[in-house]
Amino acid sequence: MNDSSHSKNTTGLIHHPYTPPGGFQAPQPGVFKASTVYFPTVADMRQREWKDKSGYTYGLHGTPTTYLLEEKLCTLEGGDQCLLVPSGLAALTTVALALLQTGDELLLPDNVYGPNKAFAEVELRHFGITHQVYDAMDPDDLSRKITERTRLVWLEAPGSVSMEFCDLPELVRRCQARGVWSALDNTWGAGLAFQPFDLLGQAAQGGTALAVDISAHALTKYPSGGGDVLMGSIVTRDPALHMKIKLCHMRLGLGVAANDAETVLRSLPSMALRYQAHDATARRLAKWWQVQAQCAQLLHPAFAGAPGHAHWQALCDAAPGTGLAAGLFSVLIDARYSQAQVDAFCNGLKLFKIGFSWGGPVSLVVPYDLASLRKRPSAHLVPGSLVRFSIGLESAHDLLLDLNQAMQAHLPAA
Ligand SMILES: *Cc1c(COP(=O)(O)O)cnc(C)c1O
């Protein structure tokens, strides 16, 4: 290869003169990938601002793809600023790292997403940040545990695995009354079942909103919708609070891959329809469980008798009969069945796969040892073996047949 043809095949391919015409418009916004971003001049490089989306400085600080996803997530959750992180768990840990320092205390509900508690027990403790666990179903317990060292309170509605629905507006009021940040893990509500920045719908009517300070969301679940992307978001409505978290996020070097951001952008337009479909099928299945003798207790917040049902009604079902819930519920299988029988039931399901997470097209089942997840026994739960179902997009009829066959084979009626 002589020198000039080599130059055509290397430099020529790298610095190619062709620029496609502008103005391309199509349903999907395209995928912009970059570590390096060019500046026309040194002066421009020195002037360009990375913090306010006025331009581009480095891939980690944002691309057209990530900016658009952030803006759409603000719309979804009713917030003003958004940060993207590589997982839902990273959203929870980034909030804590950004807002807490040595000597501070964090409060977590006992039914919080488990790894959030584990992070407080190990990493935060190593940094000299203490935590206490409060009973999400008792606002007075939260008030009692807020001290002058408390800076941040995590909220979750409903709680993980046991699905009890707290009085979220009241817990937020208790935080506000004591001047501590309230951060909601909003993965279940997903911006659809209720509005985290307008919990009582007052802002929608021109009033003052009752709002959490921070909404963290595992986009891994419904926004992805495919069981194939891990991502999280941190949405706020306060520019100063956002900037505090954003600067920590930048220093930690957190970012998301362009193709993953594109996958979530591709899924967002169908999210509300999928959420409704997951919800409708989950309620049909939960209704079936409710009348089975094998079911000691149904844990689905939209069902009368489930712990916190009235709080779900107040927050999500203000116009009765229209309320939404995620396609997720748990069942306490009667204590007369052994764990081995319950495990065999889970193994015997054919359409339901055994696996963590939720929000994708495939229905999932996981037996949980509830006692190992909680600091204190839950008085509102009857004894039994807990099984959590995450309902996919299969036909409800087929899922019911599957439940029936596994039940008959492994959990015989007395
Ligand atoms: C799944 C989940 C998370 C964590 O999300 P990942 O993307 O799996 O890290 C956090 N909170 C809740 C409530 C979740 O369901």
- Taking only the tens place, the pLDDT of each residue in 9-68 is 899 999 999 999 999 999 998 899 999 999 999 999 999 998 999 999 999 999 999 999
Are 84 and 193 part of one and the same domain? Answer: yes
Distance between CA atoms of 260 and 266, rounded to whole angstroms? 10
* Tens-digit pLDDT profile for residues 91-119: 999 999 999 999 999 999 999 999 999 99
Q: Is residue 305 part of a domain?
A: yes
* Tens-digit pLDDT profile for residues 121-130: 999 999 999 9
Distance between CA atoms of 61 and 51, rounded to whole angstroms? 8
Do 402 and 382 form a contact (C-beta atoms < 8 A)? no
Are 263 and 287 part of one and the same domain? Answer: no
* Tens-digit pLDDT profile for residues 314-352: 999 999 999 999 999 999 999 999 999 999 999 999 999
Tokens at 119, concatenated: 């992070």
Q: Which residues of 153-177 are buried (b: 16+ CB within 10 A; e: fewer)?
A: bbbbbbbbbbbbbbbbbbbbbbbee
Residue 364 sits in which domain range? Answer: 270-410
Q: Is residue 176 part of a domain?
A: yes
Question: How many angstroms separate the alpha carbon of residue 132 from the centre of ligand 1?
Answer: 21
Ligand 1 binding site (Cβ under 6 Å of any ligand atom):
87-89, 113, 160, 185, 187, 218, 220-221, 230, 232, 357
Q: Is residue 325 part of a domain?
A: yes
Are 240 and 377 part of one and the same domain? Answer: no
Are 215 and 120 part of one and the same domain? Answer: yes
Which of 357, 366, 389 for a ligand 1 pocket mutation test, highest count of atoms within 8 Å of Cβ?
A: 357
Question: How many angstroms separate the alpha carbon of residue 87 from the centre of ligand 1?
Answer: 7
Do 378 and 162 form a contact (C-beta atoms < 8 A)? yes
Are 122 and 260 part of one and the same domain? Answer: yes
- Residue 172, helix vs strand vs coil: helix
Q: Is residue 383 part of a domain?
A: yes
Domain end marker among 200, 235, 269: 269
What is the pTM assigned to this prediction?
Answer: 0.97
Are 98 and 243 part of one and the same domain? Answer: yes
Question: How many angstroms separate the alpha carbon of residue 89 from the centre of ligand 1?
Answer: 6
Q: Is residue 90 part of a domain?
A: yes
Question: How many angstroms separate the alpha carbon of residue 107 from the centre of ligand 1?
Answer: 18
Are 194 and 274 part of one and the same domain? Answer: no
CATH of the domain at 399: 3.90.1150.10
**Which pLDDT score is estimated for 371?**
83
Separation of CA 124 from chain center:
21
Indicate the number of domains in the chain: 2
Q: Is residue 227 part of a domain?
A: yes
Which of 85, 87, 89, 368 for a ligand 1 pocket mutation test, highest count of atoms within 8 Å of Cβ?
A: 89
**Which pLDDT score is estimated for 1?**
53
CATH of the domain at 127: 3.40.640.10
Question: How many angstroms separate the alpha carbon of residue 186 from the centre of ligand 1?
Answer: 10
Q: Is residue 17 part of a domain?
A: no
Domain end marker among 269, 285, 305: 269
Residue nearest to atom 6 of ligand 1 (CA): 88
Q: Is residue 36 part of a domain?
A: no
Are 262 and 292 part of one and the same domain? Answer: no
**Which pLDDT score is estimated for 399?**
98
